[in-house]
Amino acid sequence: MSTPRTQTTATPAADGRAPALDPLTVTALTETLRSAVAPSVVGTTDTSLPEDIDGLGELVDALESLKHTAAAVQARAAVALDAAVRRSEAEAGVPAKRQGAVTPSLLARARRESPHQARRLLAAARAWTAEMPHTWSALCAGELSEYRATILMTETAALSVEHRAEVDREIAGDRDRLETLGNRELTAATRRAAYRLDPRGFVQRSRQAAEQRRVTVRPAPDTMTFVTGLLPVAQGVAVHAALAAGADAARASGDERSRGQLMADLLVERVTGQTSAPAVPVTVNVTIADTALLAGGTEPALVGAETRGGCVPVPVPAEVARLLLGDSLTAGAKTWVRRLYLDPGGDLVALSSRRRFFDDGLAAYLRLRDQGTCRVPWCDAPARQSDHVVSVVDGGPTTGANGQSLCEACHRAKESALWPGSRGRPPGVLDVEHVWTDPPPLPTSAAARAA
């Protein structure tokens, strides 16, 4: 069945201008949609929806267009928010180079996402509205999704304004072709057009990209982790080839481990300098109840390693945590086990260690308690700063109860006069909901959740 694209025409106001759009108007539309689905119960007939196949298909199509158009309105509002922030900060005497720095954090709170994601949206919104008229028109018309519009923006980000406009006209200006392209096809087509217009720029950017090389770590399922290295292509291929050659040599010598296992073990051994992958000398922070560690309990633990960037926590079953400690000791590694004390409800309240931390001991405690993640709602960026919930100038003490871990972006935003709850924020300016004065609640134990 082919569902035709629903065509609608906006009705202008009596004076010829577009109708006013405010939060109350959007809320009324949202409530209408909510009321249509609120009575729905699984297994019952939903009388609020069409019953025929064509009607249901057209409804899905219309809602999809609504989502795309709403994304355009939100993008336009994001640009307007940035302009309002810059005007307010200019009037307050904030230096021009610092104006607008808080906008992504304000936008993130409104969108319930991290400042990093909000910063990407803001950059895309600026490009769509100022430099890509065909992409912007398709997004407003509900014919292009925010994700696909972002592909067009990302693949043309390094072009000049003139070249970006040309690619925009070629790709997004042909609506019939645009609707037939899959996401990968759209990416490839945009990239080809961009390269054709600026081949020298692509070569130069490939050289500059080496400056972005880095290594990151993130949790993987089943108590594993992804360690990712972003390297120049020659170096990346060389690393993989060296590990593969080492694994093949070990297999030829009779090692029964698989090729993939050997490559992983060789990576650990060569990076850490150890002769055996399990025997890595690190300080292991095990957040675990005493009943789970000593009495065979089942409450999950958090295992993390101290790094300069903070603590990278990985939730693991209690039995796995016990095995990790046992394997490390069996392998003869120099293993430090720091005890992290939990209260009866399962919240972290103190720590002890044979190592002394002096000035950074409290900061280490906060990183462990907050699991290495920014405490601002919806922001899951790695924590980089230790911050006072109630600032020192307002009489806040330097204690664990008044401390929180924040990422760099949220820490800077919190100091802005426009941040909700800031002492210097003008009343009524850019009011945003979800204002808080205490850190969000910490993860608790199963016993505490059941109480």
Going by DSSP bridges, is the β-strand pair 214-220/336-342 parallel, antiparallel, or unpaired? unpaired
The answer to whether the CB of 351 falls within 8 A of the CB of 339 is yes
Per-residue pLDDT at 297: 58
Buried b (16+ CB within 10 A) or exposed e, 275-312: eebebbeebbbbbbbeebbeeebebbbbbbbbeeebbb
Low-confidence ranges of the chain (pLDDT < 70): 1-19, 38-47, 279-362, 364-365, 368, 392, 417, 420-451
Per-residue pLDDT at 432: 38
CA distance 417 to 398: 22
Q: Look up residue 73 and give its amino acid.
A: V
| E strand intervals along 357-411 | 385-388, 403-406
Closest CA to 151 of 166, 130, 137, 167: 167
Cα 350 to the center of its chain, rounded Å: 29
Per-residue pLDDT at 433: 40
Closest CA to 288 of 378, 351, 194: 351
Beta partners for 228?
216
Token pair for 273: 């300098």
- Is the model's pTM score more than 0.95? no
